[in-house]
């Protein structure tokens, strides 16, 4: 790890944070790591929305919550309508 950290110009703890997926690690460090392992072509995918699993999962959760809210509102509307009729 010391050798890789030195090649990247970072500390070992920073390299460990990078490996752990810590989002506070700077993009320059990520780019350097990818360049060193000859995967720097992957940089274009880092900001590609279609590869952002976190955002995709967030959108799904929001859609589920919206569906639940709409179902609840529809149920409440039916109850109010039935009460008005009865």
User: Whole-prediction pTM value?
Assistant: 0.52
Mind listing the pLDDT tens digit for each residue in 9-30?
A: 999 999 999 999 998 999 899 9
Q: What is the largest CA-CA distance in the chain?
A: 79
Res. 41 pLDDT band, cuts 50 70 90: confident
For residues 66 and 40, give the distance between their C-alpha atoms in angstroms, rounded to a whole number.
39
Average pLDDT, rounded, for the chain: 88
Cα-to-chain-centroid distance, residue 57: 8
pLDDT of res. 38: 93
pLDDT of res. 29: 94
Residues 45, 51 contacting (CB under 8 angstroms) = yes
Cα-to-chain-centroid distance, residue 54: 3
pLDDT of res. 43: 82
């Amino acid at each position: 790890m010391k050798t890789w950290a030195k090649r990247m110009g970072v500390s070992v703890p920073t390299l460990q944070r990078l490996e752990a997926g810590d989002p506070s690690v700077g993009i320059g460090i990520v780019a350097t790591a990818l360049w060193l392992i000859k995967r720097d072509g992957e940089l274009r995918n880092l900001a590609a929305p279609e590869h952002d699993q976190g955002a995709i999962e967030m959108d799904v959760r929001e859609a589920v919550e919206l569906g639940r809210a709409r179902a609840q509102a529809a149920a409440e509307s039916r109850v109010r309508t039935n009460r008005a009729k009865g």
